[in-house]
Amino acid sequence: MSTVVHAITGLGTGGAEMMLYKLVRSIDQEQFRTVVVSLIDKGKIGNRIEALGVSVHALGLSRGTSPIRALWVFARLISELRPALVQGWMYHANLASSMATAISRTRPPVVWNVRASLDGLDREKRSTAAVIRLGALVSRSTAGIVYNSRVSARQHESLGFLPSRSEVIPNGFDCTEFRPDSEARRSLRAALGVPENALLVGCIGRFHPMKDHAGFLEAARLALHADRRLHFVLAGTGITIANPEIARSIELHKLAGWVHLLGERDDIARITAGFDIACSASAWGEGFPNVLGEAMACAVPCVFTDTGDSGWVVGDCGRQVPTRAPRAMADAILSLAALDAAERQAIGASGRARIQRHFSLEAVARQYANYYRRVSQRQD
């Protein structure tokens, strides 16, 4: 049995963190012993990973603490575990994995995992941009770089990430957890207090400028003007009326009563299955958006912006619109709303079949397992 150490910046409820959890849950435990290291804390996902019987080590890195100490703790752990390889997740943890491995006694191969598209360093915080530039230099020392989208691979290679190290492995989706559910549709409407015939348009994602919630809410205003059956459901970290930017947009567009803010939730599969239409409004930064694959697995048709590999995920099972184009998004929402229920269900069914055929969690876990074996064998 080979030991694989996964290192990630933190274990909150983000897309990368959820993909790590799903991979740990799905990969063959008889072939791979998994250990997870979080640079910050265990968060909600860390507790879920521990519930699988997997060890999670939190280094407690935060503002004001010494990264040197955290790296030494990480290096000692690598020396003790003697893993077959170390897999980093996201920019900061990728670098930390390379540095900790370099000062460990065993120096196993390091593989990075890049989870975002990169439309320009000017969109990133200065500190993050600096980490990305440093990553381009350090990438030459890695055994491989996994990207979750083809667009992301090309973008990073243009910045100097070594092309010969690239491997694209998409996100995987659990089609037993995310599935069509007529009862979820009824219960979500009852919980929101909306009519049974209301059309629910969902947008799931943490509050961040890249997600362009302001643009989505403007699209909601435009679409609602044409179809009063529509209700808009938003969920994710920071998506509450206590968020002043969200509150201002709702007031500006006179959306009170038509927009429902759920905040961070643990029942995303049930909520998603209750939608009639799912949206991803991101302006930049998406690599391979989980929310689209999860909606498709629930047989919900999607409207999505042209960022990252969203078009590859959805194919012809939804409507693609330009980024930062609320009118185009509103028109796409209205085009799906104008269909009868059977027509939307047909689009949704083709989307679910596409996920099962190309992006199932089982298939993606096998891709990771095969990749880990190839990397380990190259080092022997």
Domain residue limits, the chain: 2-172+360-379, 182-358
* Dist CA 169 CA 16 (whole Å): 13
Whole-angstrom distance, CA of residue 96 vs CA of residue 15 = 20
Model pLDDT, residue 217: 98
Alpha helix ranges (H) inside the chain: 15-26, 43-50, 67-81, 91-102, 126-138, 150-158, 182-192, 213-226, 244-252, 268-273, 290-297, 310-314, 326-337, 341-358, 361-379
pLDDT digits (tens, 9 = 90+) for 66-82: 788 899 999 999 999 99
CATH code for the domain defined by 2-172+360-379: 3.40.50.2000
The residue type at 156: H
CA distances to 29, 125, 280, 313 from 212, rounded to whole Å, are: 39, 17, 9, 20
- Length of the chain, in residues: 380
Say whether 182-358 and 2-172+360-379 share the same fold: yes
| Cβ atoms within 10 Å of 248's Cβ, excluding its own | 12
pLDDT at 379: 65
Q: How large is the C-alpha radius of gyration of the chain? A: 21
CATH of 182-358, one of 3.40.50.450, 3.30.200.20, 3.40.50.2000, 3.10.110.10: 3.40.50.2000
pLDDT at 29 (0 to 100): 84
The model's pLDDT over 174-223, given as tens digits with 9 standing for 90+, comes to 999 999 999 999 999 999 999 999 999 999 999 999 999 999 999 999 99
The pLDDT score that the predictor gives to residue 125 is 84
Nearest to 143 by CA among 175, 113, 173: 113
Average pLDDT along the chain, 380 residues, taken 10 residues at a time:
94 89 92 95 94 95 80 96 96 96 95 88 86 94 95 93 94 95 95 95 95 97 97 97 97 97 95 98 89 97 94 94 98 98 97 96 94 84
Q: Give the model's pLDDT for residue 116.
A: 84
